[in-house]
Amino acid sequence: FCEDPSFGNVKTAPTREAMKFSAETNHLIEKRLRQVLQPLEILLCAVVTSLEFWIVYWSRCFSLRYTDPPTAWLLVLWCLTACIALTLVAAMKYRSGKKSRAWIAIALTMWAGLVCGYSLGDRYWYEHTVNYYNVKGMASYINIDPATDKGESYMDAGTMYFKEDSRVQKETAVAFRNGMTYCVAPIMRHVQESKPGGGPVAPPSGTVDFWAVGVDCCGKKGETFTCGEVGTSLARSGLRLMDGTARSMFLLGVQEWSAGTGLPVRHPVFFHWVADPIITLEGIVSAAWEDLWLRLFGCFVGSLIMAFVLHLGLQKLRVL
């Protein structure tokens, strides 16, 4: 046989064209994978995540949670729904081979923002702001005489202004230790009198019901009571203690004081000793807002870094 050149040309030409087409396709894919990181996409991840963080943190830590809990939960659920939707979109685009790098990055950063906003806001609420809203919702009393008034008449007190000459009797403070040191000292008016045979005399009310309290502020045995603003001569007001766990510890300290002095304590009411309750309460809210803005800045920076790392990692994993 003689080899037909034209037959060879017809057979080999499509193969070369297919190889050329395949090489060009691979080159285009590699070029897309080697695309430089998109700064606007990374910035968008950080901005959207920070906005979500602000919404969730605010709804878990500020007034909306106290005045309208269903709406506060609705905001959190809305952010959760957004995270789920973005995750589904990212998954569908990735499976279909479409550009999904930005969607994956924003979905993951949004989940991180949701978890951080919820956990940090919830923690700050229980540690600080819930006390502010609870106290604001309670009654305020003025001109209370700790010598003649009884605690049972003021169980709904949130703030209390005592009469002039009222003071914290630091010298008889007691410390109750249970991991931390729980300090209690009676709020008295004038100097407490003593019986002829020794021992203190009960006040005209027949009970010692008003107490200044604090944690880790009175030494090991109560000898150096410095809780609250007890060192300020102008202080003669109290903010109600709202921590139920701490209250049980302070109550044990009061019982120890009562057993040591022989004076009755029938309906103890615990306060943080302050000079101005209004300024102290507003300071709690101001500190909460400062904490929010600081954490929001941290969230933005963290989201920016996280989005950059995710884009870089996904690019190396050949994700479009």
pLDDT value at residue 23: 54
User: What is the predicted pLDDT for the residue at 12?
Assistant: 46
Structure tokens at 243: 């921590």
Q: What is the pLDDT of residue 215?
A: 95
Task: Give the global pTM.
Answer: 0.79
As given in the structure block, the two tokens for residue 212 are 């200044």
Place of tokens 């998954």: 91
Q: For the chain, first and last CA: distance in Å?
A: 53
Q: How do strand 180-189 and strand 166-168 relate by DSSP bridges? A: antiparallel
Q: Which two tokens stand for residue 105?
A: 């990055």
Report the pLDDT value the prediction gives residue 179, as an integer from 0 to 100.
87
Angstrom distances, CA of residue 25 to CA of 20, 29, 228, 320:
9, 6, 73, 14
CA-nearest of 149, 135, 150 to 272 is 135
Bridge partners, residue 177, by sequence: 181
pLDDT for position 195: 55
Contact of 140 with 159, CB cutoff 8 Å: yes
Helix axis angle for 101-124 and 39-61, nearest 10°, is 20
5 CB neighbour count, 10 Å cutoff: 8
- Residue 256 to residue 276: CA distance in whole angstroms: 30
- Is residue 69 within 8 Å of 319, Cβ to Cβ? no
- Predicted confidence at residue 20, as pLDDT, reads 52
What does the pLDDT profile of the chain (320 residues) look like in tens digits? Answer: 444 444 444 444 455 555 555 555 554 445 554 455 678 888 999 999 999 999 999 999 999 999 999 999 999 999 999 999 999 999 998 888 888 888 999 999 999 999 999 999 999 999 999 989 999 999 999 999 999 999 999 999 999 999 998 999 999 999 999 889 999 999 998 755 555 455 677 888 999 999 999 999 998 888 899 999 998 888 999 999 998 889 999 999 999 999 988 899 999 999 999 999 999 999 999 999 999 999 999 999 999 999 999 988 888 887 77
State the pLDDT at residue 13.
47
Q: Residue written as tokens 């989005």?
A: 307
- C-alpha 291/C-alpha 219 separation (Å) is 30
The three-class DSSP label of residue 218 is: coil
Residues with Cβ within 8 Å of 267's Cβ and at least 6 positions away in sequence, in order, are 150, 151, 152, 155, 207, 209
